[in-house]
Amino acid sequence: MTLLCGHPDFSAILDWLGDVFGLPSPPQFEDIERDLSGSTGVFESEILPWKRKTNRLWNRLAESPDSKLVAAVKNCVVAADIAGSALPKARPHDRDRWSWIDGVFQDRPQLGDLQAVVDHRLGINKPREFQQRVADSTARVTLVKAGCGGGKTLAAYLWAAKNYPTHRLYFCYPTTGTATEGFRDYLFDEAEQTPRVGADLFHGRADVDFEIVLGAERDIDDEEVRLECLRAWRTPVVACTVDTVLGVMQVNRRGLFSWPALAQSAFVFDEIHAYDDALFGVLLRFLKDVSGVPVLLMTASLPEYREAALRNVLGRLDPIPGESDLEQLPRYHKHQLAGINPAEVVRHTLDMGGKVLWVCNTVGRVMDAAKRMVDHFPLIYHSRFKYEDRVERHRDVIAAFRKEGPAQAICSQVAEMSLDLSADLLVTDLAPVPAIIQRLGRLNRRAKPGDPTKPFVVIEPDGPLPYTQKELDAAREWLKRLDNDGIAQSQLVDRWKQPETPSVRPGGSAWLDGGPVTVPRELRAPSVGISVLMAEDVPRVRACPRGLPRFVLPMPVPPRGWQAWPREHGLPIAPAGAINYDPKVGAEWQKS
């Protein structure tokens, strides 16, 4: 390889650097030839020894605070490279584009912006006592444990508005569905079809959700021409999936590129009970090592071993409970079936104009239950839809439960977090205790003092999957300890006798542990399924590659042969006829 160091352009660059940094006259170079291969090549003779030297230096730094500084600087170098390569493309005719970097970091919430979000949500009401306690917390990390529907989200905005009114705010949800719903409920003006206070929605399917869920389009002049990382730098309030933030710990691109914004933000992590152990371990590592940022953690119920892990990392933790009156308000009673088929209980509730939520442990059981109830036109909602259809099914379920008259939704575990609705009857497969507590959070959700309790029915599934037999055995014992009537959210947690569980510890971090060599790692536990494209959708993806997220279809791994399928954007293409698909029912593999 010839390095053109004698070229006039190279000399001009050196002269420019000297002028900018006040350096003496630069040396003059001639072209340099370097061998690339063999024992005398530049890799073997210079780069490999340099790598060994940096590894030795890193090993000496590993237990030093300087190791975190090195990691932070590394991310800043990447951010500088992003700005250097993206800004000329984003602002090709703007002579002042470099001043954009200085100005963009001032694009934070203005005094009163977050309070405006609170005031809009409260209307003429005042904050509840527990919400005010959350707002008054000055701890670096605050944990809120309050039941479903108890007002945790509003409490979080109160906390941010009072303590960090001019910090960027990242509101982190466990799924894309919950992120979009949170954005719509608090940060999106549906009348004006625009975000409030400069907020934005960040996740891998956000463009699709803006169009389908919110009925709006992003500002093409501003958003379409910028890379996502530049949007993150200038966004005052972000609703996102937890992956957007914690991804920085494993060098996932979305988190890595957003580092300049993350480093000056406050964070709310919602529904932390829903994290798998791998993701929870990364959260612990974030709390331990990114210790200069304020954090609010929220959950309806948290296993004792996870709360103990938080205390081990933070030293002290005083959870703020929900509103006592709401937590102790009787909301549920066990339905005494006495040999009655659960389907008959569902039909009776629907005939009386009630609303029924039926939650199954697997998509297959959802399909079976829907076939049994087909005469009552159930709405079906689970994960095995193309994303554009899943969004529509989500919207259909929410709309049906908000209007007058009977409604029935048969869902998989996706109902545990992403559905903000109130049912008159809950039918649920036996599941682990935290899952049932979440499902019960959708029953009689709008209850007020003096209202009658609403029934729930627990069905024995035909096998433990996707859970373990031990988890289901513990749930059976817990159900026996619950009263038959007058069950409140507080009783759900108080009667939960948790078994001994191995402790969870802060996880590894590709960013903080990697040193000179950084390889991205998975943030969550790996999925047991695969994502595919159906052959009939490939032409639409090729015509508009940005529309790819619309058509991605999660499926269980097929029995054989799929590894040899052709691919589009890295996704296997399922041959025509391999999948039975209905946009209102979902997908299943064609039985041979």
From the list 366, 368, 372, the residue with the least C-alpha distance to 385 is 366
From the list 121, 145, 171, the residue with the least C-alpha distance to 321 is 145
Q: What is the pLDDT of residue 220?
A: 36
**Cα gap 408→400, rounded to integer Å:** 8
**Cα gap 411→361, rounded to integer Å:** 9
In which band, very low, low, confident or very high, does the pLDDT at 221 lie, cut at 50, 70 and 90? very low
The tokens 């990697």 sit on which residue? 514
**Cα gap 562→455, rounded to integer Å:** 45
| pTM given for the model | 0.82
Q: Give all domains of the chain, ordered by start, each with its CATH number.
A: 113-325 (3.40.50.300), 329-487 (3.40.50.300), 529-589 (no CATH)
State the DSSP H helix or E strand holding residue 18, giving kind and residue range, or none if neither: helix 8-21
Judge whether residue 152 has pLDDT over 60.
yes
- Name the residue with higher pLDDT: 193 or 222: 193
Task: Give me 344's structure tokens.
Answer: 């008959």
Tell me: the pLDDT tens digits for 327-359?
A: 788 899 988 765 668 888 889 999 999 999 999
* Residues in contact with 562: Cβ distance below 8 Å, sequence separation at least 6, in sequence order: 530, 532, 572, 574
Classified as helix, coil or strand, 159 is helix
Mean pLDDT of 22-33: 92
User: What phi-psi label fits residue 271: left (phi over 0), alpha (psi between -120 and 50 degrees) or beta?
Assistant: left
Q: State the chain's mean pLDDT as an integer.
A: 85
Buried b (16+ CB within 10 A) or exposed e, 497-532: eeeeeeebebbebbbbbbbeebeebebbeeeeebeb
Task: Give me 91's structure tokens.
Answer: 């602002």
The tokens 């536990």 sit on which residue? 525
Task: Give me 431's structure tokens.
Answer: 């599941």
Q: What is the pLDDT of residue 270?
A: 92
Cα dist from 542 to 385, 390, 495, 538, 571, whole Å: 20, 22, 54, 6, 13
Q: Do residues 233 and 105 lie in contact, with contact meaning Cβ atoms separated by under 8 Å?
A: yes
Task: Give me 154's structure tokens.
Answer: 């509003």
Q: Do residues 425 and 357 lie in contact, with contact meaning Cβ atoms separated by under 8 Å?
A: yes
DSSP string, 534-590: EGGGHHHHHH-GGGHHHH-EEEEPPSS-GGGS-EETTEEEEPTTSEEEETTTEEEEP
In which band, very low, low, confident or very high, does the pLDDT at 227 lie, cut at 50, 70 and 90? low
Mean pLDDT of 278-284: 93
Runs of H (alpha helix) within 361-458: 363-372, 387-402, 415-418, 433-440
In which band, very low, low, confident or very high, does the pLDDT at 224 lie, cut at 50, 70 and 90? very low
Tell me: the pLDDT tens digits for 404-415?
A: 999 999 999 888
The tokens 């399922």 sit on which residue? 574
**Cα gap 535→583, rounded to integer Å:** 16
State the DSSP H helix or E strand holding residue 320, giving kind and residue range, or none if neither: strand 320-321
Half-sphere exposure of 543 (CA within 13 A, CB side): 6
Mean pLDDT of 24-38: 90
State the DSSP H helix or E strand holding residue 295, giving kind and residue range, or none if neither: strand 295-299
In which band, very low, low, confident or very high, does the pLDDT at 502 lie, cut at 50, 70 and 90? low
| Burial (Cβ within 10 Å: 0-12, 13-18, ≥19) of residue 11 | middle
In which band, very low, low, confident or very high, does the pLDDT at 424 lie, cut at 50, 70 and 90? very high
Q: What is the pLDDT of residue 338?
A: 57
